[in-house]
Amino acid sequence: MQIGFIGLGNMGGPMAANLVAAGHTVKGFDVAGTSTAGVSVAASAAEDATGVDVLITMLPNGSILRSVADQVIPAMSKGAVLLDCSTVDVESARAVADQCTAAGVLALDAPVSGGIGGASGGTLTFMVGGEEAGFNKALPLFEIMGQKAVHCGASGNGQAAKICNNMILGVTMIATCESFALADKLGLDRQKMFDVVSTSSGYSWSMNAYCPAPGVGPTSPADNDYKPGFAADLMLKDLRLAQQAASGADADTPMGALAQALYEQFVENEDGAGRDFSAMLPRFEQRSRS
């Protein structure tokens, strides 16, 4: 396929490189001037979108996505796919999809799970909203860039799946960190705690695959001084998107709201900025009940 890629940062760069390695022709554009080996450089977003079968975007937020969409959709061929892999608000994803429909372009919102390691290793999971025709056209690319792609339904549903998943993740990580800090104060060895919980009803991805306690369970960012695999700043972004969506849908999400408030405190007023989201554990270790 002829592929355009906009946003060649920590996630987009490795994703584009994997497409090149699989034999696809990829041209790219990034406002920061970032480049990726094997990806030809376009002079603008509109040029990047011209003549491609699929245009992939990996952008920071919904307002930037809307701005880029205004530039690229008029340049795209009818029947081409605009495949947005950013994590943005549901409203922006659906607004861009409406623009695409009016222009005869197929829109997919396909946020990812798996982080920088998944982008580099081609093991991402894609949560995809949009028309089935677009999903089928992009499926060979999902299979190169990731290990799983789930078609979640209509436009915006990929973003909905991502923020619901990450709301669960934020809440369960806080509970996991609180529990380890409580275990410490009760004199329970962390390894014993892990041995029990990881095979009992407290089992979760946060405990079993991404344990926030250094030296316990599989290797995780906790074993690397909490250098981010998934930054607390990004968790805060996703929790805010979840609460924005909950407000629009009139959904009662008290645990999600509390998780957002705790990550806001951690990132904005404590030492959480630039640290992994599991660094909540040393935060709770240092705090008392009052």
DSSP secondary structure, 117-159, as one string: HHHHHT-EEEEEEE-HHHHHHHHHHHHHHEEEEEEEESTTHHH
Cβ atoms 176, 207 nearer than 8 A: yes
- The mean pLDDT value for 7-25 works out to 96
Q: What is the pLDDT of residue 214?
A: 98
Evaluated on CA atoms 136, 138, 141, 147, the torsion sign reads negative
Q: What is the pLDDT of residue 6?
A: 98
Is 27 designated active site?
A: no
Q: Which pair of tokens denotes residue 70?
A: 């205004």
Among 126, 108, 110, smallest CA distance to 53 is for: 108
pLDDT at 213 over 90: yes
pLDDT at 290 over 80: no
Q: Which pair of tokens denotes residue 252?
A: 């009662």
User: Which listed residue (137, 162, 227, 237) is catalytic?
Assistant: 162
Cβ atoms 232, 263 nearer than 8 A: yes
Q: Which pair of tokens denotes residue 100?
A: 């695409």
